[in-house]
């Protein structure tokens, strides 16, 4: 397997790492050298700057003696409740039929347990329903009407199937019959607690104006989220179709199992996908990862993305390195 030499990476996409100094990127968040991508547990990492208040809620939950799963659930509920977030929760962009269909999953390292809901409408907190699927049923995943029936029976909080603002935007989209690709900035959150156990969760409204019934990577174990209590955990955000075809987060964890630093595991996963995919690096995918030693990292395609890291000592947004076709030789390597 060919991989980009480390020196080339340092001098290319991440010049900011040279000398181990903190360099501000255009976005304002710093990119950090590998040596600084580590902290003592409890440690929480999530996608995007909007993950920071979610991380802080998760940390407060742990500090109030909540479990790892309580922390993941309470943190992700913060993002699901944000009326300004157009890609997570019921304020999200609807599907092509004007209905917000939510995807979510949760995973516990201890016991290797998982729960998931897909294409569920009219419920405010899919992360809590995913947890109930894990804890109250013999199944891992419920979708669509069956998931809604389960949520209703278990008394989960309901909400409008689309917000007024998104309904107006959808009417306009429908009139124009545009196939506009809207953003899909999932929250994925992964956590290492003081006992050395790992947990994770993921929640999204998915690809804006998607076909009704479309599932992305976020409810798929090994797609949008994977937790292995022996090794580490990984989460994904971006275009789910380009993550789930490659078992993206499972692959990140497997690279960590081979000894890679979490950030290098994210980079190597993107390189692997880009080599196989006819689109090369034009993938719109991003990963975060954490290992049992408290090392963490992220990486994305293009100019990378920002992710949030929280522990008792700090809570901050960090810029990940990005990968483009300039960073590696020929991609889409299976093409003849
Ligand atoms: N990553 C979220 C989605 O594609 O639905």
Does the beta carbon of 239 lie inside 6 Å of ligand 1?
yes
Contact by Cβ (8 Å): 146, 129: no
| Confidence tier at 185 by pLDDT (50, 70, 90) | confident
> What's the pLDDT score for residue 182?
58
Question: Looking at the chain, which runs of residues are DSSP E strands?
Answer: 23-24, 30-31, 43-47, 102-108, 113-120, 141-143, 187-192, 198-204, 225-228, 232-238, 285-291, 296-301, 306-311, 314-319, 322-323
- SS3 state of residue 213: coil
Assessment of whether the complete model's pTM goes beyond 0.75: yes
> What's the pLDDT score for residue 4?
32
Question: Which candidate, 255, 253, 259, 205, places its Cα nearest to that of 229?
Answer: 253
> What's the pLDDT score for residue 59?
98
- Tell how far the Cα of 244 is from the centroid of ligand 1, in angstroms: 9
Residue 30 has pLDDT above 80, yes or no: yes
Phi, then psi, of 117 in degrees rounded to 5: -130, 145
Residue 9 has pLDDT above 80, yes or no: no
Q: Any bridge partners for residue 201, and if so which?
A: 106, 189
- Tell how far the Cα of 219 is from the centroid of ligand 1, in angstroms: 9
Q: Given the CA of residue 103, which atom of ligand 1 is nearest to it? A: 5
> What's the pLDDT score for residue 178?
63
| Confidence tier at 5 by pLDDT (50, 70, 90) | very low
Mean pLDDT of 117-139: 98
Contact by Cβ (8 Å): 47, 188: yes
% pLDDT > 90, the chain: 83
Minimum CA distance residue for ligand 1 atom 5: 206
Query: Tokens 């278990």 label which residue?
Result: 154
- Please give the DSSP secondary-structure letter assigned to residue 103: E
Q: Given the CA of residue 207, which atom of ligand 1 is nearest to it? A: 5
Mean of all residue pLDDT scores within the chain: 89
- Tell how far the Cα of 116 is from the centroid of ligand 1, in angstroms: 14
pLDDT in tens, 228-238: 999 999 999 99
Does the beta carbon of 218 lie inside 6 Å of ligand 1?
yes
Query: From edge to edge, which strands make up the β-sheet containing 322-323?
Result: 225-228, 232-238, 285-291, 296-301, 322-323
Does the beta carbon of 108 lie inside 6 Å of ligand 1?
no
Residue 264 has pLDDT above 60, yes or no: yes
CA distance 311 to 260: 22
Residue 27 has pLDDT above 50, yes or no: yes
pLDDT: which is higher, 240 or 16: 240
Which of 118-132, 169-183, 240-254, 301-315 has the weakest average pLDDT? Answer: 169-183
CA distance 209 to 93: 7
> What's the pLDDT score for residue 20?
32
* Most confident of the ranges 28-32, 200-204, 320-324: 200-204
Q: Annotated catalytic residue: which of 47, 61, 79, 186?
A: 186
Q: Cis before residue 290, ω within 30 degrees of 0?
A: no
- Please give the DSSP secondary-structure letter assigned to residue 125: -
Q: Please, what are the domains in the chain?
A: 40-324 (3.60.20.30)
Q: Is 186 a catalytic residue?
A: yes
| Confidence tier at 183 by pLDDT (50, 70, 90) | low
Question: Which candidate, 47, 29, 28, 30, places its Cα nearest to that of 188?
Answer: 47
> What's the pLDDT score for residue 1?
29
């Amino acid at each position: 397997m060919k991989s980009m030499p480390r020196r080339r990476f340092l001098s290319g996409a991440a010049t900011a790492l040279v000398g181990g100094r903190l360099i501000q990127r255009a976005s304002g968040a710093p990119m950090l050298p590998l040596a600084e991508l580590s902290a003592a547990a409890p440690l929480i990492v999530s996608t995007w700057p909007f993950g920071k208040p979610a991380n802080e809620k998760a940390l407060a939950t742990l500090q109030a003696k909540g479990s790892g799963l309580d922390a993941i659930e309470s943190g992700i509920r913060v993002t699901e409740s944000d009326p300004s977030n157009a890609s997570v929760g019921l304020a999200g962009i609807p599907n092509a039929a004007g209905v917000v269909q939510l995807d979510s999953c949760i995973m516990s390292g201890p016991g290797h347990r998982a729960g998931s809901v897909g294409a569920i409408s009219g419920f405010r907190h899919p992360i809590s329903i995913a947890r109930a699927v894990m804890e109250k049923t013999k199944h891992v995943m419920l979708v669509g009407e069956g998931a809604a029936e389960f949520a209703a029976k278990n008394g989960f909080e309901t909400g409008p199937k689309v917000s007024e603002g998104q309904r107006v935007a959808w009417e306009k989209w429908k009139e124009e019959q545009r196939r506009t690709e809207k953003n899909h900035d999932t929250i994925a959150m992964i956590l290492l607690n003081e006992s050395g156990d790992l947990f994770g969760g993921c929640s999204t409204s998915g690809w804006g104006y998607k076909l009704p019934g479309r599932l992305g990577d976020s409810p798929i174990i090994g797609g949008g989220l994977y937790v292995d209590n022996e090794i580490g955990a990984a989460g994904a955000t971006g275009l789910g179709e380009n993550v789930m075809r490659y078992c993206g987060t499972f692959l990140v964890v497997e690279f960590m199992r081979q000894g890679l630093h979490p950030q290098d595991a994210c980079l190597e996963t993107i390189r692997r996908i880009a080599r196989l995919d006819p689109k090369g690096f034009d993938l719109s995918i991003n990963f975060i990862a954490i290992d049992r030693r408290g090392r963490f990292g992220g990486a994305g395609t293009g100019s990378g993305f920002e992710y949030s890291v929280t522990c008792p000592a700090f809570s901050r947004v960090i810029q990940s390195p990005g990968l483009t076709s300039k960073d590696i030789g020929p991609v889409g390597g299976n093409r003849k």
